[in-house]
Amino acid sequence: MTALDLSSPVAVVGTGTMGQGIAQVALVAGHPVRLYDAVAGRAREAADAIGARLDRLVEKDRLTGAERDAARARLTSAETLSGLAGCALVVEAVVERLDVKQELFRALEDVVGDDCLLATNTSSLSVTAVGGALRIPGRFVGLHFFNPAPLLPLVEVVAGAATDPASATRAYETARAWGKTPVACADTPGFIVNRIARPFYAEAFALYEERAADPATIDAVLRESGGFRMGAFELTDLIGQDVNESVTHSVWQSFFQDVRFTPSLAQRRLVESGRLGRKSGRGWYDYRDGAERPEPHTAEPADPPAYVVVEGDLGPAADLVALIREAGIEVREEGGDTTGSLVLPGGRLRLTDGRTSAGLGGVVHFDLALDYRRAGRIALAPAETTPPRALAEATGLFQALGKKVSVVGDVPGMIVARTVARIVDLAYDAVDRGVASAADVDTAMRLGVNYPLGPVEWGRGLGLRWVYELLGELRRLDPSGRHAPSLALHRHAHVSDAGEGTPS
């Protein structure tokens, strides 16, 4: 099954920001496009707005004047649904209400031909439920574009329980012909991106509630150590706290209140107070005129240790040994302790493994980094009983490696490690449940939310046994089950120990 022919008309119903963006994508790809909106006059206004954006593309040399004129000639507005007759594809981008979408598609079936592909751009509703009342549910798919649709490459192509494989394939190939990067996924809550991304927000909010650190510090560690483009607090302020919470709540409810997706009380209070982020002027941060952006906690300069003894295998932090040598600090290597430690004259330093520093007699834990050489900041978590000298030497060590240091509360798994571990776990769980292939999961998370690595790839790099054991320790300290590793991760962690493959 191939993509729709460029001569085939495409309709977009709903002419808000997303609808206009989808229409522009189809239009620039070469299709005749018809716009429809239930509110009189809005389709014409949307056509004018799209025309203005085409003008800007010409100004930026992304379209020629001739291409713009041809595109404008292909763009029309329809005053009634009957004006969409003869379309080969209709994409819906109306309000996120199941009853509204179902009513719309039932009406569309009376207008378009039986071979017309029908698609919803829903991000939170079940594709199966939206299309379940149709006379021909096999031609119904999800085409989940990301905002802004003309710029972001990812499209999740969602097959509902009743979707014919040929329809899903045609939708997939059409999205690709439009210059997008489609990924195929099954109809499960959150699809790929909104399902696997939940821990990025949930763990940050939980760390705040646990008083591990303030939002600015957590965000800085996620960016500068974890390699994420934005921290969870600043990102949700950009998205809108109400929008982000609504998606979280939808996924949680759709999974029958699975504890892994539990919404945040702190975020609920933020929404209740009207602090919705940038759009309201205040969220986790204050965006009003004259407001100062809070700075992350950064430790004062400290002297590095005279030497470091490396005991055992440092696992994901093994690159630190070369960095310490390059900084001119004496390194002595010893066998033994299989968990891996950096022994300083005044104490012991370990990569977080899901336990607290207090539970290990005052060990100072340091957080995971995407790349220890390139990381600009490292978080340290001492226990209340940690000797001041041990913390000072640990701080001085990482400062000697060119890192800023943030000292955070003694919480299990710290910031980056437990966030990444949970994302990896949900990714492997999704692959094993047939939501999407490992390659599509990695593509979706890199393109959809700008993760520095796909989570399946990230898990392989960290070592699945390390991820599994860290989550196991978190589960021991938090018996709610939120951090419990999935059966999929359990299986793949043991498979990887045997030197066998990873999910495909």
Q: Which residues are catalytic?
A: 123, 144, 156, 194
DSSP state of 5: P
Q: Spell out the residues 6+ positions from residue 375 whose beta carbon is closer than 8 angstroms to its own.
A: 224, 225, 227, 369, 403
Tell which residue, 124, 139, 155, has the closest CA to residue 26: 155
DSSP bridge pairs for 120:
92, 142
Q: CA angle, 130 as apex, 121 and 97 as ends, to 5°? A: 70
Whether 457 and 338 have beta carbons less than 8 Å apart is answered as: no
Q: Spell out the residues 6+ positions from residue 295 whose beta carbon is closer than 8 angstroms to its own.
A: 216
The bridge status of strand 89-92 relative to strand 117-120 is parallel
Cα distances (angstroms) measured from residue 180 to each of 30, 177, 285? 14, 7, 34
CA contacts within 13 A on the Cβ side of 443 = 17
Q: Spell out the residues 6+ positions from residue 391 whose beta carbon is closer than 8 angstroms to its own.
A: 347, 364, 380, 382, 407
* Phi, psi torsion values for 155, nearest 5 degrees: -135, 120
Q: Which helix (H) or strand (E) holds 393?
A: helix 388-400
Give dist(CA 80, CA 481) in Å, integer: 51
Q: Which helix (H) or strand (E) holds 351?
A: strand 347-351
Give dist(CA 93, CA 14) in Å, integer: 5
